[in-house]
Structure 1
Amino acid sequence: MSTAFHLLQTDQVRCYDADGRDTACRDAGQDAAFGKHEGLWQPQRFAVRGDAVHDRITGAVWCRQGDLAHFPLTWEEARDFVARMRARRVDGLDTWQLPSRRLLFSLLSHQSVNPALPAGHPFRQVFNGYYWSDDTCQRLPDQAWYVHLGGGRVHRGMKHGSYMVWPVAAPSAVPLPAEDRFVVTGRCARDRHTGLMWPLGADRTGKPVDWPGALAAVSRCNRERVAGFDDWRLPNIRELESLVDLGAHDPALAPEHPFASVREGYWSSTTSVYEPRYAWVLYLQDGGVGVGFKPQSDFHVWPVRGPVAG
C-alpha cells in the first residue's frame, strides 16, 4: 500500500508579511499562493454518526466530543482510558486508541485557531490546549508527543505529565517501509511516500536566514534552475512534517535517507495565524513542529517541488 500523492495540504488561504500584516499572495511564494484542494477542508470531509465523526479523508472515526475524559490524564492513564473504551465497545467499536501523532496532526487547521480545526468542523468541547498522541519520542522514551489544539504546535513532554485525550478508532494501516523511501534522480530525491521532490543538498543558503530571506532563496533557485527545474517552492508545514520518521532522531529522517547538510531547523512557507509575525518550522532533531520569529535569522531553507510521478 502506498500513500503517494495523498499528502493533506494546509487550508491556509491568506498571506502575511514579516510584520504579521495581510499581504497580497501574488508571487509571494507563501503557502497560500499555491493551489488548494479545497474539498479536503469543506464540511463534507466529516460525517457525523451519533457521538462519533468519520473522517472521509483518513478513514478514522473520532469521538465527536473533544473532552470525553473531562480532565487531563497522564500518558499511561490515557492509554488505560482508551483500553476501557475498547472493552466496552463504545459506539459499537473495539478499536479505540490514542491517535498517532500524524493522525492527530491531520486534523489541524492552519487558518483557524482556538481551536485549530477546519472551518465547519462538527466537533464539540475541544480544549484549546495539548492532546496526547500514542507516539513515544524515540530519543527520549520517557516522553511522548502531543499536539496543541489551540494553535497547532507539535511537541513532546514527560509521560507523567497530564494532557487531554481525544480517542480515535483508526483503520488498520499497512506501515510504509522506511528503506528505499527516497529514489535519487540526478541532484534530487523523490519521496515515494508523498511524491515530493527534494534537493539532495538540504541547505540552500549555507547559514540560517530570516523568513523573507528563505522565500527569496527559493526564488533564486527558480531563476537559477537548480537541478534543472524552475518550479521550486518553500515547503508548507505539512510537506516538511511529512519527511519526519518518528523511529529516528538526529535527524528524524528515514535511516537510509540520501540527503547531505541536514540542519536542525527549517522554515516553512506557512504562517502561524496564532501570531502572524511567526511562521511554522520543523525541528529535525526529533521531528517537532514549532514556530520561528520571521525577522530573525534562525532557520535554514530546503526547497521542494512536486509531487512528481515515477
Structure 2
Amino acid sequence: MDYDDKLTYGEAVSQAESFNLAGYTDWRLPSIKELYSLIMFSGLDVDPMSDSESKPFINVDFFDFAYGDVEAGERIIDAQFVTSTLDVGDSQFGGGNLMFGVNFADGRIKGYPTGNRPGAAGGKTFYVFYVRGNKNYGQNDFFDNGDGTITDQASGLMWMREDSGEGMTWEEALEYAENREFAGYNNWRLPNIKELQSIVDYSRAPGATSSAAIDPLFDCTEIQNEAGQPDFPFFWSGTTHESTRNGTSAAYVSFGRAMGYFDGQWQDVHGAGAQRSDPKTGDAGNYPYGHGPQGDAIRINNFVRLVRDLD
C-alpha cells in the first residue's frame, strides 16, 4: 500500500492487521494524541481550493504528504489522516460515529464520519500513517497536589485545577497569564496547543459522561452553548494559527461540544476534543451562523487553563 492511497476508516483498520514494513508486522492505527504529536504550527493554512502559499503542518523532510486531489473533485484541504480514537459523544453529524482525525493541510483536529455519508456513495476516505511501539504514549499521570494545582507526571507540567471561570480574548488571556500568581508560583502561562491537547480525555464528552473531556480531577466551568444545551468551553492556547489572515487567529481546543450551524440547526459537528482556531479579537456576533462549510461556531471570548513548567 502506498502512503497516499486513501482508505475508508474500515479499510484502514483492517489493513493494519496485515501491514508489513521494514520487517515489522505490529503496525497499528495511531491514537489521536500519537498522530497529533507530529503536527507543526509552522504550517500555513490556505484557501480551501488553492495550494498557493501552502505549507503543510507536518515536517515534510521526514514524512510524505500530499494535499487533496483537486482533479479528482477533492479540495486542497482534503488531507485528513485517520486515527483509532472515536468520538464517544452524541454528535450525529454526517450520520454519527465520528473518528478524530488530524488534517495536516489546515492544522486541525476534527471528527469525521467512519461510515457512509448520507447522500454520498461510500464512506469518506483518509490518508494513513501506521505506527508501532509505545502504546502508553499520551497517557496522563495526574497527581493532585492539594493546593489547587495538578501535576501531570507524564509530561512534567503543572496545571491549575480551576479554569478562568469566564471567557476572554486572546490578548486578554495572555495578560491574565502574565499577571497571575497562584499556589506560590508566578510563572504561569498559556499552554501551547500540543500541551493543551495533551490533557484532553477522549473517553469523556458532555453527551456521554455529562462532563467535559478532561479528567474529573480538574474543574471545568459549565456554559450554555449555541443550541441552548449545558456544555463546556473552548480553551485558548498560546499558539498562533498562521494563515492568509496574517496570524490573526489562535488555536484552541474544545473541551465540550464543537458546535456548528449545519442543516439549519446548531449541532456538535466535530466532537469534544476538536482543535481549531478562532480570531484573537473581534465580535462573535458577526458570525450568527458560524463560519465555513460546517458553520463552525466562532467564540472569540474563550476560557483559559494555565500551566507552568516544573522547577
Q: Pick the TM interval, shorter chain.
A: 0.5 to 0.7
Q: 1:149 aligns with which of 75, 99, 104?
A: 104
Q: Tell me which residue corresponds to 1:241.
A: 197
Q: Tell me which residue corresponds to 2:142.
A: 181
Q: How does 1:58-207 map to 2 (within 5 A)?
A: 66-67=3-4, 69=5, 71=6, 73-85=7-19, 89-113=20-44, 114-118=55-59, 121-127=61-67, 129-140=79-90, 142-160=97-115, 161-174=123-136, 181-203=142-164, 206-207=165-166
Q: 2:172 aligns with which of 204, 213, 218?
A: 213
Q: Is 2:138–2:198's contact at 8 Å kept on the other side of the alignment? A: no
Q: Tell me which residue corresponds to 2:281.
A: 295
* Structure 1 portions without partners, runs of 5+: 1-62
Other structure's SS at 2:85 match: strand
Q: Give CA deviations for 1:158-191 in whole Å, capped at 9, x if unaligned.
A: 112413232323104247876x723233121212
Cα 1:152–1:231 change in 2 (3 A) is same
Q: C-alpha displacement at 1:273, in angstroms?
A: 1.4
Give me the whole-angstrom Cα distance separating, in 2, the residues matched to 1:172 and 1:196.
21
* Structure 2 portions without partners, runs of 5+: 45-54, 68-76, 91-95, 116-122, 207-211, 223-231, 257-271, 283-299
Q: Tell me which residue corresponds to 2:241.
A: 272
Query: Which amino acid in structure 2 is aligned with residue 170 of structure 1?
Result: R
Cα 1:93–1:66 change in 2 (3 A) is same
Q: C-alpha displacement at 1:260, in angstroms?
A: 4.8
TM-score, normalised to structure 2's length?
A: 0.67
Q: Is 1:183–1:192's contact at 8 Å kept on the other side of the alignment? A: no
Q: Is 1:82–1:167's contact at 8 Å kept on the other side of the alignment? A: no
Query: Which amino acid in structure 2 is aligned with residue 212 of structure 1?
Result: E
Other structure's SS at 1:133 match: coil
Query: Which amino acid in structure 1 is aligned with residue 157 of structure 2?
Result: L
CA RMSD, aligned part only? 2.4
Query: Which amino acid in structure 1 is aligned with residue 145 of structure 2?
Result: V
Q: Give CA deviations for 1:204-263 in whole Å, capped at 9, x if unaligned.
A: xx3211111111111221xxx222211011111011111111111231112x42425364
1:253 aligns with 2:205: no
Other structure's SS at 2:82 match: strand
Other structure's SS at 1:80 match: helix
Other structure's SS at 2:100 match: strand
Other structure's SS at 1:270 match: strand
Query: Which amino acid in structure 2 is aligned with residue 259 of structure 1?
Result: D
Give me the whole-angstrom Cα distance separating, in 2, the residues matched to 1:111 and 1:176.
22
Cα 1:79–1:212 change in 2 (3 A) is same
Give me the whole-angstrom Cα distance separating, in 2, the residues matched to 1:268 and 1:258.
17
Give me the whole-angstrom Cα distance separating, in 2, the residues matched to 1:299 and 1:177.
26
Give me the whole-angstrom Cα distance separating, in 1, the residues matched to 2:61 and 2:190.
28
Q: Give CA deviations for 1:20-46 in whole Å, capped at 9, x if unaligned.
A: xxxxxxxxxxxxxxxxxxxxxxxxxxx
Identity %: 23
Other structure's SS at 2:154 match: coil
Query: Which amino acid in structure 1 is aligned with residue 275 of structure 2?
Result: V
Higher helix share: 1
